[in-house]
Amino acid sequence: MAATILSRQLTNILQQNLRFSLPRSRYVSQSANKTDVDDEFDGPLMKTEVPGPKSRKLMKKLNELQNTGAVNFFCDYEESRGNYLVDVDGNRMLDLYTQIASIPLGYNHPALVKVLQNPENASTFINRPALGCLPPENYVEKLSETLLSVAPKGLKQIQTMACGSCSNENAFKAACIWYRNKERGKAIHTKEELESCMINQAPGSPDITILSFMGGFHGRTFGCLTATHSKPVHKVDIPAFNWPTAPFPTLKYPLEEFVRENAQEEERCLEEVEDLIVKFRKKGRNVAAIIIEPIQSEGGDNHASDDFFKKLRNIAKKHGCAFLCDEVQTGGGSTGKFWAHEHWGLDDPADIVTFSKKFLSGGYFYKDELRPDVPYRIFNTWLGDPSKSLMFAEVLNVIKREKLLDNVIESGKVLLQGLKDLQVLYPHILNKARGKGTFCSIDAPNETIRNQLVLKMRNKGIVLGGCGEKSIRFRPALVFRPHHANLFLNVFSDILAVHK
Ligand code: PSZ
């Protein structure tokens, strides 16, 4: 503790210097250094290149055990605070990527530290139950206080899981079980079904399918991977199911300027969805579910209109397919609403909504009719983790107490407007600034320039992520304030001014 206080005092002294050493802004420097979180730092502080010598050494060691090609740098999570991620070389960076969009309240939020320190919570952290068979006494109460209190409209059933992929994987299974029961008219299986499923043959292992979209990402496990179409490297060499893949609309930005053209493109894709459903049905491969992300994230932050999603939902209904909305990355508030699909204004809710990342664990909400009627149909050992639920309860309290959705809207406006201003100033480097809330992105002309910009920004103390072929994506925590957005924009503006 003493060391932490000392290091904080030191960093405060260094911050005073930083204020002067920050390059003068070519952008609007609106109180970029102000902070309203007592515990947070007031700017990046770079000591070495990233990865620095200590990170490199650790990478070499880890590389003896596994492929470390994806490791950016090693982190000092103890020293990280709020929106700032500190690495093992003591570099302090403003984090606009937050562990691939997964840290709702930033690092070491004091409210979460308190949850951990509360002796009443010790048992929940120590004794991890196999939730499906031996849940703790307070399980129902905790579910009601936490996940159920933010359930998407119309969905009353909940299944917890450990991660995004296993949430989607089990959501697929729930949809298939529902679909087959619907086809049979009952949940009782024939002897033939029970025998044939044991050798992976129909009718027990039916030829029903899940329709997904080009550019979509739903995870890397076997079923999810068939529905994932963002990059070949995820898929190559892995067997895939013969399931339909529909085109996702390729829209022109800014969306409000190309409404008519974009509507035509969306119409084309919707027609293709219906054609595929019919074509597959004719081949005896009925579509049991359609899965879609509200904003295609890994695939390059591709948006579609509310109207597109509403029509897609209706197509699913018309053809008897479950409509499965993957909110693993979009859920939890960063679009300015708790669920991104709330923006659409659906008449009939999605049948299943999956979540993970900012929810700290995973799972899915679903309509009553998708509830499996026999036990052990959807099951695994942990089925989530009650200690994560405890933490998530506090995350929700903080979101409400600090009105973080309002903050996301406010910070998102500053961020997106700043990106739009910068793309006007640097049209040869930036285009397609887009986003909802702080869930924003912008494109570089190509992958090389995108990667250069991300690396240059990192060495100036800003952590960003890429997505798709040439997009930079912004996935800050919900505690990302307008002054953080300005701070980022100042640094970005400086980098762009000297980018060759
Ligand atoms: O490369 C990867 O495996 C990545 S990079 C980002 C993700 C995965 N995101 C996870 C994700 C997602 O964004 C959506 C929309 N659906 C499902 C998943 C899978 O979640 P996890 O990674 O928790 O299994």
Q: Which of 493, 457, 375 is nearest to 132 (CA)?
A: 375
Select from 28, 26, 91, 81 the least CA-distant residue to 56. Answer: 91
Helices (H), 366-442: 386-401, 404-425
| Pocket flag, ligand 1, residue 328 (CB < 6 Å) | yes
Around 174, how many Cα atoms within 13 Å sit in the side-chain half-sphere?
31
Q: Is the distance from the beta carbon of residue 298 to the nearest atom of ligand 1 less than 6 Å?
A: yes
Token duo for residue 156? 């009353």
Rounded CA-CA distance 379/56 in Å is 41
Strand, helix or coil for residue 110: helix
The DSSP output letter for 288 is: E
Write out pLDDT tens, residues 113-141: 999 999 999 999 999 999 999 999 999 99
Index of the ligand 1 atom closest to the CA of residue 219: 19
* Residue 359 known to be catalytic: no
Let me know if 190 is a catalytic residue: no
Q: Whose CA is closest to 160, among 289, 151, 477?
A: 151
> What are the residue ranges in the chain where pLDDT is below 70?
1-38
Centroid of ligand 1 to alpha carbon of 162 (angstroms): 12
Among this protein's residues, is 379 annotated catalytic?
no
Which residues on adjacent β-strands are paired with residue 443?
431, 471
The CA dihedral of 59, 61, 64, 70, to the nearest 10 degrees, is -10
Best mutation site among 329, 335, 352, 361 for ligand 1 pocket (most ligand atoms within 8 Å of CB): 329
Residue 231, ligand 1, Cβ within 6 A: no
Task: Report the largest interatomic distance among the alpha carbons of the chain, rounded to a whole angstrom.
Answer: 77
Q: 217 catalytic, yes or no?
A: yes
Please tell me the distance from the alpha carbon of residue 131 to that of residue 279, in angstroms, as a whole number.
41
List 73, 74, 213, 217, catalytic entry = 217
Asked if residue 473 has its Cβ within 6 Å of ligand 1, the reply is no
Answer whether 356 contacts ligand 1 (Cβ < 6 A): yes
